[in-house]
């Protein structure tokens, strides 16, 4: 089998890249380790920047997003029970759209299936070869049979634990990492959200977040120690803890119910450099991880593949390698801005094991500064709603 671009991974990065390339007449094959149902079963974040919405429009998959997505003008931060709203629309004329990553993935899968492009699910033992030369190949096993896919380029969109980054020789790649000593325990519930916009709460007992998927489905999180077991958290314990960490009004208004999903996600910052190795490119979680606090994970994945699609389309249309040569530096500059913002949001909102009285006052001073300075609030708004590539 032969294709132009072999894409490893059918998460949002791989699927969006496939869609952007297919629409421009650049043929792709996607190889995914899991089943389609498994990929759709993963619950992830759901805040889309304007730039991500525009890319999904360009990919022709924005109909349901515009019908069901919730446009939010701002977010609220809550410190020790005091809430403050940041109105992004008023501050900088921008908004965000709340629409679950699971739904983005579903829309992209449906469009790909309808277009007839090839996606191979349950592709096992995916391995990448000869991307240093002119004729890269990808080998995989499907239903016990070995296959080889020849291609011009490989796009590694297979997430943090994927085969793509792992196949780069150690001396050719540098990685930067911070693992946080806590995770987020998330709960999904079919009850209306407690407020119209997201509430990010700092409390001595730990961070909490009130989010949503729709007017009838809510997503809540509480910070827990890194080694916490989800089985130790009954729904009642979760709701009690959440109430303690938010302001009194939010606690009173909370509509609780039985969880339909509950899981713990670790928090990590990670960047690989560079993101191009001959004919292999890394994009999305394969290239970087951000803690979820800034809601940047999906948006970064989208901007990576937006830039990669542009570069590859230019290569085929004009036989120019300027775009692919510039890919790594171009996306890394945005990635580090998002890393900085996500790290900063994480550090002001969470309680760290070594958070002493001084650090607590500094966190509080950050909040007071954001509340009192228009410039600081605008900076928050700019970073949260989108960063220039
Ligand atoms: N071979 C084939 N596929 C693989 C392999 C492999 N060796 N390893 C992983 N995969 C698949 C995974 O099963 C997954 O479906 O690659 C896909 C990667 O998808 P994601 O983890 O969703 O990563 P990405 O598409 O980059 O999306 C980034 O996801 O984790 C969130 O916060 C993150 O929102 C961001 C988004
Ligand atoms: C979510 O709804 O899952 C969510 C929202 C905002 C974040 C992180 C997660 O910053």
Tens-place pLDDT, residues 222-256: 999 999 999 999 999 999 999 999 999 999 999 99
Identify the residues whose C-beta falls under 6 Å from ligand 2: 45-47, 198, 211, 219, 292-293, 295
* Cα 220 from Cα 286, distance rounded (Å): 26
In this prediction, residue 45 carries a pLDDT of: 86
In this prediction, residue 389 carries a pLDDT of: 59
In this prediction, residue 95 carries a pLDDT of: 97
Average pLDDT over residues 67-96: 97
Tens-place pLDDT, residues 249-296: 999 999 999 999 999 999 999 999 999 999 999 999 999 999 999 999
Dihedral sign computed on CA atoms, order 374, 376, 379, 385: negative
In this prediction, residue 43 carries a pLDDT of: 82
Report residue 265 as tokens. Answer: 């996600």
Q: List, in order, residues 6 or more apart from 313 with CB less than 8 Å away.
A: 20, 21, 24, 26
In this prediction, residue 143 carries a pLDDT of: 97
- Nearest-CA residue for ligand 2 atom 9 is 45
385 CA to centre of ligand 2 in angstroms? 13
Question: Does the structure show a pLDDT above 70 at 55?
Answer: yes
Helix (H, G, I), strand (E, B) or coil at 317: helix
The Cα-based distances of 165 to 137, 141, 148, 286 in angstroms read 15, 19, 19, 6
- Percentage of residues in the chain with pLDDT exceeding 90? 97
24: left (phi over 0), alpha (psi -120 to 50) or beta: alpha
8 CA to centre of ligand 1 in angstroms? 9
Band (388; pLDDT cuts 50, 70, 90): low
- Nearest-CA residue for ligand 2 atom 4 is 45
Contact of 139 with 261, CB cutoff 8 Å: no
In this prediction, residue 387 carries a pLDDT of: 73
Average pLDDT over residues 359-381: 97
CB of 12 closer than 6 A to ligand 1? yes
Q: What is the mean pLDDT of the chain?
A: 97
Active site residues per annotation:
72, 200, 292, 296, 384
Average pLDDT over residues 44-59: 95
Between these two residues, 167 and 387, which has the higher pLDDT value?
A: 167
* Cα 373 from Cα 238, distance rounded (Å): 35
The atom number, within ligand 1, closest to the CA of 284 reads 26
- Strand 288-289's sheet: what is its strand order? 82-87, 74-79, 199-202, 208-212, 218-225, 174-189, 259-273, 288-289
- Percentage of residues in the chain with pLDDT exceeding 70? 99
Supply φ then ψ for residue 73, to 5 degrees: -80, -20
Beta-carbon count within 10 A of 373 CB: 11
Question: Does the structure show a pLDDT above 90 at 42?
Answer: no
Top mutation candidate among 285, 287, 295, 339 for ligand 1, by most atoms within 8 Å of CB: 285
DSSP conformation letters of 262-297 = EEEEEEEEEEEE-SEETTEEE-GGGTEE--GGGS-H
47 CA to centre of ligand 2 in angstroms? 6
37 CA to centre of ligand 1 in angstroms? 14
In this prediction, residue 13 carries a pLDDT of: 98
């Amino acid at each position: 089998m032969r294709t132009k671009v072999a894409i490893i991974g059918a998460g949002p990065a791989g699927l969006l890249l496939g869609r952007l390339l297919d629409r421009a007449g650049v043929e792709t094959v996607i190889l995914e380790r899991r089943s389609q149902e498994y990929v759709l079963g993963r619950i992830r974040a759901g805040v889309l920047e304007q730039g991500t919405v525009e890319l999904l429009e360009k990919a022709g998959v924005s109909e349901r997003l515009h019908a069901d997505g919730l446009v939010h003008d701002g977010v609220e931060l809550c410190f020790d029970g005091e809430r403050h709203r940041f109105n992004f629309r008023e501050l900088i004329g921008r908004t965000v759209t709340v629409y679950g990553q699971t739904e983005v993935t579903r829309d992209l899968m449906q469009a790909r299936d309808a277009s007839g492009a090839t996606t191979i699910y349950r592709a096992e033992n995916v391995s990448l070869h000869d991307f240093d030369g002119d004729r890269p190949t990808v080998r995989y096993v499907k239903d016990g049979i070995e296959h080889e896919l020849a291609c011009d380029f490989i796009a590694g969109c297979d997430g943090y634990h994927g085969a793509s980054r792992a196949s780069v020789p150690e001396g050719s790649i540098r990685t930067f990492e911070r693992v946080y000593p806590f995770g987020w325990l998330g709960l999904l519930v079919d009850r209306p959200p407690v407020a119209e916009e997201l509430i990010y709460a700092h409390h001595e007992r730990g961070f909490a977040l009130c989010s949503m998927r729709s007017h009838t489905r809510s997503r809540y999180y509480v910070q827990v120690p890194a080694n916490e077991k989800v089985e130790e958290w009954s729904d009642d314990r979760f709701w009690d803890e959440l109430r303690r960490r938010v302001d009194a009004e939010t606690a009173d208004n909370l509509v609780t119910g039985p969880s339909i999903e509950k899981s713990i996600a670790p928090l990590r910052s990670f960047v690989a450099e560079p993101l191009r190795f001959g004919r292999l490119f890394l994009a999305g979680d394969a290239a970087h991880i951000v803690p979820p606090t800034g809601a940047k994970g999906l948006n970064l994945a989208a901007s990576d593949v937006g830039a990669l699609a542009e570069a590859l389309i230019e290569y085929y249309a004009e036989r120019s390698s300027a775009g692919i040569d510039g890919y790594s530096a171009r996306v890394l500059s945005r990635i580090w801005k998002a890393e900085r913002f996500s790290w900063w949001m994480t550090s002001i909102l969470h309680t760290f094991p070594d958070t002493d009285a001084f650090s607590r006052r500094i966190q509080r001073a950050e909040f007071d500064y954001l509340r009192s300075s228009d410039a600081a609030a605008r900076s928050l708004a700019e970073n949260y709603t989108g960063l220039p590539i």
